[in-house]
Homo-oligomer: A and B are copies of this chain.
Amino acid sequence: MAKSDKINFSTPSGFPEFLPSEKRLEVYLLDIIRKVFESYGFTPIETPAVERLEVLQAKGNQGDNIIYGIDPILPPNRQAEKDKSGETGSEARALKFDQTVPFAAYIARHLNELTFPFARYQMDVVFRGERAKDGRFRQFRQCDIDVVARGKLSLLYDAQMPAIITEIFEAINIGDFVIRINNRKILTGFFQSVGVAENQIKACIGIIDNLEKIGETKVKQELEKEGISSEQTEKIIEFIKIDGSVDDVLDKLKYLGLNLPSAEEFNLGVSELETVINGVRDLGVADKRFCIDLSIARGLNYYTGTVYETSLIGHEALGSICSGGRYEELVGMFLGEKMPGVGISIGLTRLISRLLKAGILNTLPPTPAQVMVVNMQEDLMPVYLKVSQQLRQAGINVVTNFDKKQLGKQFQSADKQGIRFCVIIGADEAAAEKSSLKDLQTGEQIEVALANLAEEIKQRLGIIKSV
């Protein structure tokens, strides 16, 4: 067989590929995330990877993203079809670069088939022509939830988000984290009150959102560059640095609202924030899991109320591991209808890559098999197959070793793959309907009747928690 040695078979730059031990970690995390999403009634959807270009570019939502157009390549023997294939000459299409614009299109496409408030999750991959640098991928998976309404959407949906974030990251067990909550109306309202012009407010919010990244001095400089007076800048900086317990901050905000001029928007934001915080508490989220952080704004302009970021304590440099917020004019864009919504997003591919690199998460064993039935002698194969099936029917993942090798080599191979148990059946054991069970984790080897084998293994798997 000739080697195709002129072919560069590496992945295209920026398109990541997991080894089995990494992919299994992703599957494990996706299962946890999905289970939490579904426990709150979020239902799965998936939109195609490919959309009409005009959809992706609607409302200027391409943003700064390089998106990938798609272009049919006919096989050599079908070149003649070029004009009649229905593929060429058709409208421009491209790969989706986020889940938001396609979700808006999904709602427009199925408006009358969905029940509102519509709570959906989506865990698809998206594509962006990022420069392939550290932690940036051109294809990555995002885990998003949003709930959207026609008309009004209760602020208690906003309160559910921190409960969901908490459950997910507690289940993943990545150490302490804190969800930083704010409300854009408080920021907007405060800026109005100190006299920042309407058309400067969004830019100012964008600047203070970078406080953590660029530091206070830089924020001041940038605000002044925007034309904000140094007096206003001082007030803004003092304001966004308000901290303390959640109740302290709420008290300070309420007190401030009493004295601010034209504080309507501000006070509305404070009242929304208080409702959300009360809901978060009623949902049983521990106080240490959330705080109010007035410097959180989320760069994206579409947020209009509650906003969230999540920091891993001791690893703040990783940035937010789950963010989101409330919006009004996003998912209704194709319908010309205001549809309030609130959502969060976990950039899973990037998160896994960063958590692995930081040693916060470990990969899983490269195989899901928990048991290897070893091959002692070929003529016992019918017994090995039968025992393997009995274990599988009991819910255990099993590989049968079809290749006859030295027993030690078979143990080695199992151990290398992270398979915990070896089942050993020679002629004597087969005759006596017994087996030797070797636990590679403890080194123990015990005799077990075949009738009890599944039970014994399940017990051992249960005692030492396996993932």
Binding site for B on A (CB under 8 A): 1-5, 7-13, 15-20, 23-24, 26-27, 38-55, 58-59, 62-75, 77-78, 85-87, 90-91, 93-95, 105-106, 108-110, 113-115, 117, 119-120, 125, 127, 129, 131-132, 138-139, 152, 154, 156-157, 163, 279, 282-284, 329, 332-338, 366-369, 381-382, 385-386, 388-389, 392, 395-400, 402-403, 413, 416-417
Contacts and interface: CB of A to CB of B under 8 A. Distances in A.
A332 to B, nearest CB: 7
Contacts of A113: 19
Residue of A9, A398, A417 with most partner-chain B CB within 10 A:
A9
Contact of A282 (B49, B93, B115, B386): B386
Contact of A48 (B12, B27, B69, B397): B12
A402 B402 CA distance: 58
Nearest to A94: B73
Contacts of A395: 39
How many copies of the shown chain assemble into the complex?
Answer: 2
Nearest to A53: B73
A281 B401 CA distance: 18
Contacts of A368: 38, 41-43
11 contacts: A1-B333, A8-B54, A11-B51, A17-B47, A40-B397, A40-B399, A41-B397, A49-B139, A64-B77, A68-B73, A283-B385
Given A41-B398, A69-B71, A131-B86, A8 B91 contact: yes
A404 B69 CA distance: 46
A70 B69 contact: yes
A397 B38 contact: yes
